[in-house]
Structure 1
């Protein structure tokens, strides 16, 4: 199999990058292309993986061998910390599965895998990736992840750091619901939660201060069951009822 790029006439960065030595993964690339998804299909043994391709919204490693020196595994180590990654292992290996999840894999399968199911998984994760960059309205407040900003009006808003933005993306995906620090650590820092690491507490404290200083109508509450949740100021004691995409 050679380096194949499908439907990329107007984009250097694909929606989905498939890295595999197995030519059958063209079936998956064709399925995704039929859905209007831009796909780059690369055999890491034949062609180098360009950095622009690794910026894809989703990366699929097909038939990955449990060998830290193989091309697919090297690519995984380069991208898993910052991109959603689906891995299909060539054979069952519990230690490899644990290692892949620890390093940031979104989901791990073991071959054989149904390409239709894999296509649906890709579509799901792409939707999650895209929804994470859309503006979201919570009560009277708009959170814009792409601009790293949360505001009520042009003159009442705050700028956010990258880590603060990722925390709010996670919380705004489930408004009113408690999100544990272990999940925040995995999503923001791609590493297991360490109770001695105070970074999450510092970031949340900074977000709270920014929301309060700007007089915005949302806040982050601590849950009695652990974790934190994003709530509308007027409904701080209950769940947020009104969440919609901001137009």
Structure 2
């Protein structure tokens, strides 16, 4: 069965081009051109992923994303005309799984989308329940609790935490975390992992020693502090 993708962009030429390329790659595509319709489609139909432009009319992409995350966890790829930290940070903070800056090549868009779908696919095989301090991570169900309270994580945040908590004390580079959690190669000046880590720290709180669970390894990456 073909994967179903919702594409929301204000420019019909963009959605036509994206839809054509995705359909040639075997995806079923639904295209919309404003935020209100995008939100209605996202909440009332089942999609495997959503490609969401930031500059949508009626409701902008961030407003749509925030409303989506109040109800469903469908993977969302933010499409932005500006390759800067502001859009990425806002998007990640309210639940985006990844981003891509316009203009982009159709090949890059498909690669990002396939990577997003791969890493959000659930697999119950060899995925244990991990308990460290007040944190419990059910890797099969992709559920995390802190002090017995469920915590909502984006798919990317969960993937990062899963990688770190399975090997406490082991430092992972930003390159390794990007490949595992985001399904793509790390590039210079890419702060996506840093933003996700910051969000994770806010959600996880501190350990019994009042230290952050995730420590920075300067000039390298991060480790889980057990």
TM norm structure 2? 0.54
Separation of aligned partners in 2, 1:179 and 1:84: 24
**Aligned pair 1:134/2:123, yes or no?**
yes
Per-residue CA distance 1:99-130 (angstroms, 9 max, x = gap)? 22332323333321112111110011001111
Separation of aligned partners in 2, 1:30 and 1:112: 16
Q: Match of 1:191, SS?
A: helix
Q: Give the drift of 1:66.
A: 8.6
* Contact 2:5–2:48 (Cα < 8 Å) also in 1: yes
1:54-203 equivalences in 2 (<5 Å): 56-62=47-53, 64-65=54-55, 70-79=59-68, 82-91=73-82, 94-130=85-121, 133-137=122-126, 145-146=140-141, 163=151, 173=163, 175-176=166-167, 186=196, 191=199, 193-194=201-202
User: When you count helix as a share of all residues, which structure comes out higher?
Assistant: 2
Q: Which of 10, 14, 17 matches 1:27?
A: 17
Separation of aligned partners in 1, 2:96 and 2:50: 10
Separation of aligned partners in 1, 2:139 and 2:125: 7
Q: Match of 1:17, SS?
A: strand
Separation of aligned partners in 2, 1:124 and 1:58: 11
Q: Match of 1:112, SS?
A: coil
Q: Match of 1:137, SS?
A: coil
* Contact 1:179–1:228 (Cα < 8 Å) also in 2: no
Q: Which of 29, 33, 49 matches 1:39?
A: 29
* Contact 1:28–1:119 (Cα < 8 Å) also in 2: no
TM norm structure 1? 0.50
Cα 1:171/1:191, change in 2 over 3 Å: closer
Query: Paired residue for 2:132?
Result: none
* Contact 2:7–2:51 (Cα < 8 Å) also in 1: yes
Q: Match of 2:103, SS?
A: coil
* Contact 2:34–2:56 (Cα < 8 Å) also in 1: no
**Structure showing greater Rg:** 1
Separation of aligned partners in 2, 1:35 and 1:161: 41
Separation of aligned partners in 2, 1:198 and 1:162: 11
Per-residue CA distance 1:190-241 (angstroms, 9 max, x = gap)? 93523xx665759xxxxxxxxxxxxxxxxxxx99x774399xxxxxxxxxxx
How many equivalent residue pairs?
178
User: Is there any run of 5+ residues in structure 1 with no aligned partner, and where?
Assistant: 1-6, 9-13, 149-159, 203-221, 231-247
Cα 1:201/1:41, change in 2 over 3 Å: farther
Cα 1:186/1:89, change in 2 over 3 Å: closer
